[in-house]
Structure 1
Amino acid sequence: MNRLRLVLLNLISISLIFSITIHSQINLEPDGYFKTLGFRFLVYQNTYIGGRLGGLEMVLQGKRVLDAGNVVCITADGKKYGYYDDGTDKRGERTVDQNDGKVSYPVELLPLKLKYVMNVISDGKSIDVRIDLDQPIDWKKIKEFAFRIEIYPEEYEYKTFNGGGISDYFYEQHMGRRVLIPEAKKIVIAPEDPQRKITFEGKNVVLSLRDERRDLNVSGYMLFASLKKGSTEKSFSLKITPSIDHDWTKEPVIQVSQVGYHPDQKKIAFLEVQQGTKNIQEMELLYLNENSKLESVAKLKPNKWGDLYQNTYYTYDFSFAKNSGQYFLKYQDQKVGPFEISPTVYESAWQPTLDIYFPTQMCHVKVKDFLRLWHGACHLDDALQAKVDHKGKDGYAQGVKTQTKFKPLEHIPDVNWGGWHDAADFDLPSGSIAQTAFWMALAQEEFQTTRDVTTVLRDERLVNLFEPDGKNDMLQQIAFGTKWMLSMIKQVGHVPGGVITHIGPDYGSSGDPGGITDGLIYDAKLGKTEQRNGYSGKFDDRWVYTDRNTGGQYQFVQLAAISSRLFKNIDDSLSAECLRAAEQIWDFEQSNEPVNFSSAYNPQENKYHSLEMAAAAELFITTGEQKYREKLLSFIPTIKEMPVGKFNWTGFNLVRVKDKVNDAAFSEVLFEKAKEVRADLQEKLDGTPYNISVRLSWGGNWSVLKTAAKLFYFVEAYPDLFDPELIYSTVNYILGAHFASNHSFVSGVGSKSATVIYGFNRADKSYQPGGVISGVTLIKPDFVEYRGRAWDWYQTEHVISGSSAYIFDVLATDYLLNKKR
């Protein structure tokens, strides 16, 4: 009997050991990535290598620590391949071999006619990356051929590294030292930190550790596994051994609006925990009383919503809390807040965006806040006609003709006033500027703001923050964007693509843009350093990309028509100019074939005429002319056939104009389409716990905000179909009740917000108050992430159109909860 018991105990022990081993070793999943508890290694699930979101990626203890793993090559004449997403590497189909535990990824470097296969396997403790070439390297043509992978700086600042007889630590900023370890067989990073330690070992390669942040500021530390110069090997490999904490668990995240809530709205907080977490405890609502003491309001167990993206989500409904004051939420050892409950909570939440963010994005002016210089007057030498048949930076393009009266590289006059830098890269895209001014104009028309805290001095090219000048700030900003577009149309004859530098380092510059160009108009007859009478020989002026695009034309018509209404009896000259330009462009597009020319940030018209409908709607509201009404009525059959996705573009414009059109058939088709919109929306709402429709990619937040702004008009027109909570939920999401963290995504707004962002002051790890960042990213297949890193533009970039939609949404929320009632 004892012998039988001993055998059973041994069998149980062996079974437990086997189970622990299976669950603690690195395994290949059917989807083609490797994982174990606390660890993931992705193989081209994501492909945005240039943005540090693709290739080979590693997540260790809940943090992405390695990324952009791929093969790179430098030719003898200095050309680089594999460094950027430039199409020079033809990527094949990824294959997963479960039997061999291997993922294979074939690639061809097209300019070199060189093929290789990247094979990734695991022995249960390490990852082995093997590169198999179809031919030996021709060293007469190639200077360096390597596999490289990026080490994220923020996870390794001040941690040590060693290899090749060198030991040191990682600096927070680039300090001029580009090669940290020139040559080694083995490199270890963060050996003192079991949560971050990684060991790299190579075969048939030389390892090196480099700091590449100076050359490309989105880069970090780079681990290179380079073929030895002269090597005839057709195969080389890198072994990556992480220090994995199999007991690691993700910290719970309480997600709540960091600004707060109106007493009468729903108040839902969210709890994000690692899937498999048991024993969910009570969450506690705390109130800061008049004696400055925290008192418990309620302890309630949150309700399970479901599983999503490796996490389980719970909801905590505290809508019962209606007393005004400051509140906190507590779960286990985590406490978030303060956030406010008050009828006036939204009155100021939009103001930093108008007061600081938009003024500091203004081009062609100096911007000051008393002693602080935000930036100098910039790009006063705008702009040169772009070269024809040319692809520029950031998706800008010029066709085979200029479509203007100007020759390539000829100066286009009087376009150096107005417009906002789109994001952090100092360009002026017409599409973004039109859309930004459009949402501001709608916000002003609907909610009639009166704020005046900014002075704009045209003759001095000076903007002073928090110094009133007796003029409405929202109208000043709308005019600043609209006047730039009007000046462009006056010179070019239509809406151009926009303005951007043609110089690589200027495009990537950070800091004060006032010194990027010399402010003097380029004259090819002058010497490079010669200056004379406002001209210089320095070829640094930005270029205007001038192709006509029908979608962009109609988008401007919308803005100009609204602006004409807004400025009537305020600036009648501007009002009249806006209407003339809108009608001129409308008439031209109505009598000419539409053109869809792809250039950065310009909308493309579709076969359902979405943008044309929107333009007709705004012109009819402005003028009341029957030709625009008749045009709208002619679209009834088209509206019936429009897919919901296309109707979502501009359906809100039609909803806004339906009462003025006053036609039963028109109203009926819009009502039927609104029901389709609501059904489609519900499917998307059901996909997250947050009562919003969101895609977790670059620009996700801005899409959420624009969707909510459009939905406002459906809420107003069809209150039985559309609940105002759709708007409120969006604002809550942006202000902290969202995936992956609880930061407010509006910099400086809320008790915890995104204060390290990708803006023009990103090199200083700073921010512009009021800017709205892109937000959470889904690292495919199922890892949601917000890191708060300055160089992750797909998460932390401020962009103007999303920020103006945020202003609209907050004003709409305040209106629906207060003023409308």
Structure 2
Amino acid sequence: MGRGILLAVTAGAAALLVVIALLQASGGGTRAGMAAQPRITVNQVGYVPDGPKRATLIAQAQAALAWRLLDTEGKEVASGMTRPAGVDPTARLNVHVIDFSGFTQAGEGYRIEADGEVSFPFAIGRGFYEALARDALNYFYPVRSGIAIDGAIAGEAYARPAGHISAPGKGEINQGDRGVPCLSPERSERVYGVPWTCDYTLDVTGGWYDAGDHGKYLVNGGISVAQLMSAYERALYVDGASFAHFADGALAIPEAGNGVPDVLDEARWELEFLLKMQVPEGKPLAGMAHHKVHDTEWTGLPSLPHEDDKQRRLHRPSTAATLNLAAVAAQGARLFVKYDPAFANRLLKAAERAWHAAQAHPDLHAPETDNMGGGPYADDDVADEFYWAAAELFITTGAVHYRDALVASPYFRGDVFRDNGFDWAFVAPLGRMSLSLVPNALSAEEIAFFRASIVEAGRRFAALQEERAFGQIYVPSNGEYGWGSNHSFAQIGTIVARAYDYTRDPRLREAALEGADYLLGRNALGISYITGYGSHYAQNQHSGWFAHQVDPSLPHPPKGALAGGPNAALQDPFAAERLAGCAPQRCYIDDIESWSTNEITINWNAALAQFAAFLAEQ
């Protein structure tokens, strides 16, 4: 059993036999230790007093069952009957909903008892989402590249030397990311079909490591830094929003106390790296951004950044990467002008260079074949990136030609919200949400349209949630949970939260709060997908240096790290062998080898940070 597993003492052998039978009969997805999960799944951290409070019971009974809410001493403080919900299609389990929303007394150690089972404990109160917002934001410092991680700041377990400053190479000196050349023509021809290369090297030190490997990617770094800045920007313009998580001194970072909001300091670490990835003036494809930088071959587990002895290479620039740079540099320019006008000017110049370069090279795409040593992040439809970049540049500059590009985009008035919210491959919602929030030169009617579209999307997600017995706010139309499904929960939660910002509709607030329950344990596996939160949480995510599972001298991922979550495609061999035939919501295993279900990435934690910042205000 994993760390933190807590079985209720009143749950006897009969209850365990029932859950084993239910899991075995429901179409796969079992794993070691999973049969001992409680059949009552709850938000293992807690519920706010004036919010929705629901749990899900896995039981074979078709009729309603009695439930009791117990306090920390085992005394009954509320009771009622379950609502039978039939078989949940994503879990393939017969379930009941337990609704105890009417109970509002704050306290610790509450449990739900029903059908011979007792849930994990939880609180009713406030404060836990504030902690989650801070921890989700603090995730980024320990994954910085090019800087020694200070144990006095991040925690001694996370201290390490700077990664990719220099390392011993094989046959030659590897300078890490100080002077990285491009792929060789021979390698490029195998990847791109043409012998592309360059005659320069770039210092691309800094930035954040993308996931559990040593790669740094423009498109994933772009959406990640955008969401951190957007969380801060929301606090600037939404009445009642809190700066508490973003203020100078709020985070565990070296820059705390420098007079700049900590979230902007953290964003700058990535923005500086993104600027370094831009092709220099006078070179072919000048102004474009290299798609990524990483090792020429995959590293194993464990693999600490400062010990990486493999050669690094710049990969061919792409239109998607260039437009990501344009969008986030434009957004950063307006946020940093108050604190560092010179940096803001650098950002804006880079953004405009990138925009013009992308217009000159609108179809330079990253292929799926570029997958040796790092992920391909392939994307051959960049209409959404053009829209997002035009939106951020127009907000910052007010220039007519950016407005013209916006109006010409199919996303200007079109639907930009998909059933997974949004991700690095589809960023049009970022443009829509910025245009709806940040003062700009669009007409009042156009901004009202954008806000109405966000409200409509939020209500659509909330309506889908009402049909799901685990309170899922992510309801994919094909019924299958995809890679990073937990990230979709956070992204959709952010959309619903913004809809609430614009309406103050209590139903939207409830939907956002209940959507968080799934991530914190109210799911078919009864696991909190956020490390350090709950009684039973993910802690063996795929990582080369948060790799305690394979090397006990190394730490688990830091508190507040979001696991990727159920992925019905099972792309890694470890999950494919153990989870064949799994129900979509149960295609997950907390093992470091399962990179397709248990990865950690900067874009997933950025989504969690933005969502948690809203939750903390509730």
Q: Specify if TM > 0.5.
A: yes
Alignment of 1:153-552 (within 5 A): 252-273=38-59, 276-277=60-61, 281-288=65-72, 293-308=73-88, 309-326=91-108, 327-332=110-115, 334-355=117-138, 357-370=139-152, 371-372=156-157, 374-380=159-165, 381=175, 382=177, 383-388=180-185, 390=187, 397=191, 400-402=194-196, 404-406=198-200, 412-416=201-205, 418-447=206-235, 448=243, 449-450=246-247, 451-456=249-254, 472-489=261-278, 491=280, 493-504=287-298, 507-517=299-309, 540-545=310-315, 547-552=316-321
Distance in 2 between residues matched to 1:813 and 1:337, nearest whole Å: 22
1:48 is matched with: none
Give the AA of the match of 2:58.
Answer: E
CA change 1:574–1:490 in 2 (3 A) is farther
Distance in 1 between residues matched to 2:163 and 2:446, nearest whole Å: 52
Distance in 2 between residues matched to 1:37 and 1:711, nearest whole Å: 33
Alignment of 1:549-698 (within 5 A): 549-598=318-367, 600=375, 602=377, 604=379, 606=381, 609-635=383-409, 639-640=413-414, 649=426, 650-651=428-429, 653-658=431-436, 660=440, 661-662=442-443, 664=445, 667-668=448-449, 671=452, 675=456, 678-679=459-460, 682-683=463-464, 686=467, 689-694=470-475, 695-698=480-483
2:168 is matched with: none
1:421 and 1:427 in contact (8 A); partners too: yes
Give the AA of the match of 1:267.
Answer: K
What CA deviation, in whole Å up to 9, does each residue of 1:316-344 have, x standing for no partner?
A: 11112222221222335543343222233
1:199 is matched with: none
CA change 1:643–1:691 in 2 (3 A) is closer
Give the AA of the match of 2:69.
Answer: L
1:63 is matched with: 30
SS of match in other structure, 1:257? coil
What CA deviation, in whole Å up to 9, does each residue of 1:581-632 have, x standing for no partner?
A: 111111222344433332546463637x222112111112222223323332
2:559 is matched with: 769
Distance in 2 between residues matched to 1:702 and 1:318, nearest whole Å: 27
2:432 and 2:450 in contact (8 A); partners too: no
Q: Point out the more displaced range, 671-680 or 397-406.
A: 671-680
Alpha-carbon shift at residue 559 of structure 1 (Å) = 1.3
SS of match in other structure, 2:119? strand
2:497 is matched with: 712
Indicate the percent of aligned positions where both proteins have the same amino acid: 21
1:422 and 1:429 in contact (8 A); partners too: yes
2:225 and 2:606 in contact (8 A); partners too: yes
1:454 and 1:469 in contact (8 A); partners too: no
Distance in 1 between residues matched to 2:51 and 2:22, nearest whole Å: 40
- Please identify which structure carries the higher helix content: 2
2:14 is matched with: none
Alpha-carbon shift at residue 794 of structure 1 (Å) = 2.4
Counterpart check, 1:752 vs 2:549: no
Distance in 1 between residues matched to 2:379 and 2:191, nearest whole Å: 14
Alpha-carbon shift at residue 773 of structure 1 (Å) = 0.2
SS of match in other structure, 2:254? strand
- Larger C-alpha radius of gyration, 1 or 2? 1
RMSD between superposed Cα atoms in Å: 3.5
1:550 and 1:595 in contact (8 A); partners too: yes
Q: Point out the more displaced range, 278-287 or 550-559.
A: 278-287
Which residue among 524, 537, 548 is the counterpart of 1:739?
A: 524
1:231 is matched with: none
Which residue among 512, 515, 519 is the counterpart of 1:727?
A: 512
What CA deviation, in whole Å up to 9, does each residue of 1:77-132 have, x standing for no partner?
A: xxxxxxxxxxxxxxxxxxxxxxxxxxxxxxxxxxxxxxxxxxxxxxxxxxxxxxxx
Alpha-carbon shift at residue 359 of structure 1 (Å) = 1.7
1:379 and 1:541 in contact (8 A); partners too: no
Alpha-carbon shift at residue 354 of structure 1 (Å) = 2.5
Give unpaired runs (5+ residues) of structure 1: 1-35, 43-58, 65-153, 156-194, 196-248, 407-411, 458-466, 518-539
Alpha-carbon shift at residue 805 of structure 1 (Å) = 0.6
- Please identify which structure carries the higher strand content: 1
2:67 and 2:113 in contact (8 A); partners too: yes
Distance in 2 between residues matched to 1:687 and 1:584, nearest whole Å: 47
Distance in 2 between residues matched to 1:516 and 1:700, nearest whole Å: 30
CA change 1:336–1:657 in 2 (3 A) is same
Alpha-carbon shift at residue 476 of structure 1 (Å) = 2.0
Structure-1-length-normalised TM-score:
0.58
Alpha-carbon shift at residue 764 of structure 1 (Å) = 3.1
Distance in 2 between residues matched to 1:616 and 1:701, nearest whole Å: 29
Alpha-carbon shift at residue 452 of structure 1 (Å) = 3.6
CA change 1:339–1:423 in 2 (3 A) is same
Give the AA of the match of 2:540.
Answer: V
Structure-2-length-normalised TM-score:
0.76
2:589 is matched with: 787
Give unpaired runs (5+ residues) of structure 2: 1-20, 166-174, 236-242, 281-285, 569-578
1:220 is matched with: none
Alignment of 1:15-164 (within 5 A): 63-64=30-31
Distance in 2 between residues matched to 1:391 and 1:682, nearest whole Å: 48
1:550 and 1:604 in contact (8 A); partners too: no
Alpha-carbon shift at residue 804 of structure 1 (Å) = 0.9
More contact order relative to length (CA 8 Å, sep ≥ 6): 2
